[in-house]
């Protein structure tokens, strides 16, 4: 996958964009793929991908525990939201989104948490809530959820190293707020304004995805 090959999809409401991808036999690129392409483009002297707000197909699901702290699950695989855009459309049209996030069935959340490849962060063990604001890059690289959003530490560091070189800054936006609710909720990760990591993105607004068809999916 290369963003420089212009496989960026048209901007439209997020659920409609997912349906468009599905109708073309594509899936949305996951956040580690988008970040890796930005790093490659930087090394090649191409900065255009850094100036584009891009949504990803990576899922950030969470629920509030009895402790009052959240349990967060990060997945870079096709998921409840990306595979079921019709469910999202129905929630938007019926006005049943919760703080503009999609409610996820308990059984689906439990399956996600136990699934191989999912990273879980239990903030009750940390006795704190997720990062949510402008933080030092060193702090982002010491945060399990921020690292998981990029896939692993090596990928996160490569992205933030390139970010630092391009923008001359040692701080970055890490927006990972939680909406308290009695059921699990889900949002999609994106690289937002100023190339910040955004895990609080609304699901009923316009989105720009990168369509991917892997060799296995062809």
Whether pTM > 0.85 for this model: the answer is yes
Average the pLDDT over each of 45-49, 88-92, 104-108 and give the range with the smallest value. Answer: 45-49
CB distance 53 to 3 below 8 Å: no
Give me 50's structure tokens. Answer: 């850094």
Which tens digits make up the pLDDT trace of 39-53?
999 999 998 888 888
Tens digits of residue pLDDT in 13-28 = 999 999 999 998 899 9
- Residues in contact with 94: Cβ distance below 8 Å, sequence separation at least 6, in sequence order: none
């Amino acid at each position: 996958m290369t963003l420089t090959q212009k496989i960026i999809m048209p901007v439209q409401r997020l659920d409609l964009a997912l349906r468009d991808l599905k109708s073309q036999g594509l899936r949305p690129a996951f956040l580690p793929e988008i970040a890796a392409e930005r790093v490659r483009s930087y090394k090649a002297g191409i900065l255009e991908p850094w100036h584009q707000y891009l949504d990803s197909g990576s899922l950030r699901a969470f629920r509030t525990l009895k402790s009052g702290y959240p349990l967060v699950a990060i997945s870079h695989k096709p998921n409840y939201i990306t595979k079921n855009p019709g469910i999202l459309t129905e929630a938007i049209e019926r006005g049943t989104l919760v703080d503009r996030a999609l409610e996820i069935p308990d059984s689906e959340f439990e399956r996600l948490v136990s699934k191989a490849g999912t990273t879980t962060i239990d903030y009750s063990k940390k006795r704190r809530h997720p990062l949510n604001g402008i933080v030092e890059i060193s702090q982002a690289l010491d945060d399990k959820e921020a690292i998981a959003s990029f896939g692993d530490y090596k990928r996160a560091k490569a992205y933030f190293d390139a970010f630092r070189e391009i923008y001359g800054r040692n701080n970055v936006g890490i927006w990972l707020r939680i909406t308290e609710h009695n059921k699990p909720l889900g949002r999609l990760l994106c690289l937002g304004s100023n190339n910040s990591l955004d895990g609080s993105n609304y699901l009923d607004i316009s989105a720009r995805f990168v369509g991917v068809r892997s060799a296995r999916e062809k």
